[in-house]
Structure 1
Amino acid sequence: MGIIKGCYTALVTPFKGDAVDDEGLDSLVDFQIENGVAGILAVGTTGESPTLTWEEHNRVVENAAAKTKGRCLCIAGTGSNNTKETIEATGHAAECGADAVLLVDPYYNGPSSLEIRREYIEPVAREFPDMQIIPYVIPGRTGAQLMPEDLAILSREFYNVNTVKEATGNIENMRRTRECCGPGYSIMSGDDGMVFQMMTDPDIKASGVISVLSNIVPGAITELLNLTGNGEIEKAEKLHSALKPLFELVTVSTMEATPFGETLCRARNPLAVKTLMSILGMPSGGCRKPLGKMTQKGVAKVLSVVRRVYEATPVLLKPLEDFFGVKVLQRLTDSSNWEGLSYDKY
């Protein structure tokens, strides 16, 4: 069972109206593979797993597994806050040929790290010994956290649990994971903006990223990881600086006026990324409710970021232009391309 490393794209789930866009999904997978990603994550939280029906969820995994077979690896998001459901979804992923599954920490019901290990990860790892199991630690979203010590126990007891998607944002937690789990364990960044730091920190030595922004710039993020992994740090730093503004789009925060004073509005992943994909003419569609639209200020911030990146380093978006047959400059200057993507008022 090989180590998970490199750039894996946490693929958005495109919609036409309120239906999953199967043709658009195929196109997005082809775009990723053409630009050298190591793998695809189908129906992670970026793929809006909480609002897909299980029938839709399974169809997306089936399509992604078939489309990637022999071309790159496929990870299926099968985690939930219900172990029985997770086991059923993992069984489906195994049947349709996924290479690994991603298990987000159980959200809302908030089990302890001990419970996550014993009542969630262990039953799945035990039932599917030939499937690579990747815990996904993101306490800011789930309100729970599988701790480094429990990751280490899992890796010692189950040879198919040797990777974590680390999205705590806590450098000391990452260093503790490396200390507990040892040099052969794969730490994958769950945060685009931190992967360079995580790979170059000698006490973390991350193996790569499960990326949101690679939906838009897969080739550039893959190159960033290759340069960093090969020790070409000066070139990697330059590319990281060029990409850095895009990393702001995972969460876009604006202050909005209300009749009662200003309030903070946070457009959380994948809303801003799907908004940008729509502006750029990529298969995307909107998000499933309760996610909705951005504010006008939010869309203006997205446009400002991508215009800045395009003006400074247009080559980053050239693969997107070529693959989807669009002109990025036109997409970023014609306001008809973002009509209807924001609320008219707060």
Structure 2
Amino acid sequence: MDQGCFTALVTPFNESGDLDREGFEQLIDFQIENGITGILATGTTGESPTFKWKEHDLVIALAARQAKGKCLCIAGTGSNNTAEALTGTGHAVKEGVDAVLLADPYYNGPSSLEIRKEYYETVAREYPGVEVIPYIIPGRTGAQMLPQDLALLAESCPNVTSVKEATGSLENMKLTREFCGKDFKILSGDDGLVYDIMTDPAVKACGSFSVMSNIVPGFMTEMVSLINKGKPEEARLLQEKLTPLLDLVGVTTQEESKFGPVSCRARNPLPLKTMMQILGMPSGPCRKPLGRMTRKGLDIVLAAMKKVQSRTPELFEPIQKAFNVDIDERINNPEYHVGLWYDY
């Protein structure tokens, strides 16, 4: 997989919960027009856990056809069932994707050894002609293939040459670099860590799978490109502009219930989709069991968006042009925020 910035693409739904195909096409066009390296269809940001397999295959097919010759297309085909991962990967390969992304198997708790032997190796050997990217995110999956097994996997399967790293652990990433070697590609799965792990000489990540590039694809791509070109100071200045948005991938608030205080965490893609709805981009609601943010959470999102619009309005300008919206109006007019929060 090449270095660069890859958008973990949102899947827009209509109010009845069905795929908004026109909106999906518009989002892909927006990414391509703003120079993204590639798109990831049916990732967790795209709410793949809520898809029926027929929907899963359709979204991959649509994305692969639209991206062909314009940017790279990666398909999320992981599962906690290796047989399902094989079937999903087979469909993606037939659609001509450039790579597949497989998250570590979730919930059933295999060891690192089992994840390597009974999951990644099985898929990579069945489909040797496509790049297989392990996605290490123990906070979501409850399991983890460790750097030692990742290195063994890369040695035995030539089509495993990169990893999406979302452990949040610099020590884990440093071990990955040490064991997998200088040519192995580490791609960040945490927007807030992209700059740090790309400039850390013991990690040397070469790009990212980004959530916020759904909203600011050109700027996220530019930041990654500047670092890869050896211009970290220019990238740092851009990262500072982006920070208010990068901090919104997850939003945690303290709420009051009749039984006492409660910590409420709005996880990706809920804050992102909330922002996209405010901005007038194709998005729609999340599929259940995801729902809405709390009022406190929405206020945090709005405050950050207002900060960006007042200090660095150029970040939102591409959205205004692409989707013919008035950013100031949508951020500041409460009419556009109705129905986006719960009362606890």
TM-score over 0.5 for the alignment? yes
SS of the aligned residue for 1:74 comes to strand
SS of the aligned residue for 1:291 comes to coil
Aligned pair count reads 343
**Which residue of structure 2 lines up, in the alignment, with residue 319 of structure 1?**
318
SS of the aligned residue for 1:15 comes to coil
Distance 1:122 1:234 in 2: 40
**Which residue of structure 2 lines up, in the alignment, with residue 16 of structure 1?**
14
Write the letter of the residue equivalent to 1:45.
T
Matches within 5 A, 1:262-277: 262-277=261-276
**Which residue of structure 1 lines up, in the alignment, with residue 187 of structure 2?**
188
- Percent sequence identity is 57
SS of the aligned residue for 1:250 comes to coil
**Which residue of structure 1 lines up, in the alignment, with residue 164 of structure 2?**
165
Write the letter of the residue equivalent to 2:196.
Q
SS of the aligned residue for 1:286 comes to coil
Distance 2:29 2:116 in 1: 36
Matches within 5 A, 1:201-240: 201-240=200-239
Write the letter of the residue equivalent to 2:6.
Y
Equivalent residue in structure 1 for 2:4, among 3, 6, 11: 6
| 1:228 Cα deviation after fit | 1.2
Distance 2:188 2:154 in 1: 18
Write the letter of the residue equivalent to 2:279.
L
Distance 1:239 1:99 in 2: 29
SS of the aligned residue for 2:281 comes to coil
Distance 1:21 1:190 in 2: 26
Distance 1:5 1:202 in 2: 16
**Which residue of structure 1 lines up, in the alignment, with residue 82 of structure 2?**
83
**Which residue of structure 1 lines up, in the alignment, with residue 337 of structure 2?**
338
| 1:4 Cα deviation after fit | 2.6
SS of the aligned residue for 2:253 comes to strand
Deviations 1:145-168 (A, max 9, x none): 011111111111111001100000
Write the letter of the residue equivalent to 2:157.
F
SS of the aligned residue for 1:19 comes to coil
Matched, 1:301 2:300: yes
| 1:63 Cα deviation after fit | 0.2
| 1:286 Cα deviation after fit | 0.5
Distance 1:7 1:237 in 2: 16
| 1:235 Cα deviation after fit | 1.3
**Which residue of structure 2 lines up, in the alignment, with residue 174 of structure 1?**
173
Distance 2:287 2:151 in 1: 36
Deviations 1:57-78 (A, max 9, x none): 1100000000000111100000
SS of the aligned residue for 1:85 comes to helix
Distance 1:31 1:9 in 2: 11
Distance 1:310 1:110 in 2: 44
Write the letter of the residue equivalent to 2:225.
N
Write the letter of the residue equivalent to 1:206.
A
What runs of 5+ residues in structure 1 fail to find an aligned partner? none
Q: Runs of 4+ in structure 1 displaced over 6 angstroms?
A: none
Distance 2:232 2:181 in 1: 24
TM-score (norm 2): 0.99
SS of the aligned residue for 2:261 comes to strand
What runs of 5+ residues in structure 2 fail to find an aligned partner? none
Distance 2:95 2:232 in 1: 39
Matched, 1:42 2:41: yes
Distance 2:63 2:258 in 1: 46
SS of the aligned residue for 1:244 comes to helix
Two-structure CA RMSD over aligned residues (Å): 0.7
Distance 1:103 1:120 in 2: 9
Distance 2:56 2:159 in 1: 24
Distance 1:113 1:123 in 2: 14
Write the letter of the residue equivalent to 1:11.
L
Distance 1:209 1:309 in 2: 22
Distance 1:338 1:76 in 2: 32
Distance 1:229 1:328 in 2: 32
| 1:231 Cα deviation after fit | 1.6
Distance 1:172 1:295 in 2: 34
**Which residue of structure 2 lines up, in the alignment, with residue 145 of structure 1?**
144
Deviations 1:253-303 (A, max 9, x none): 111111111110000000000000000000000011000111111111100
Write the letter of the residue equivalent to 2:2.
I
TM-score (norm 1): 0.98
Matches within 5 A, 1:97-176: 97-176=96-175
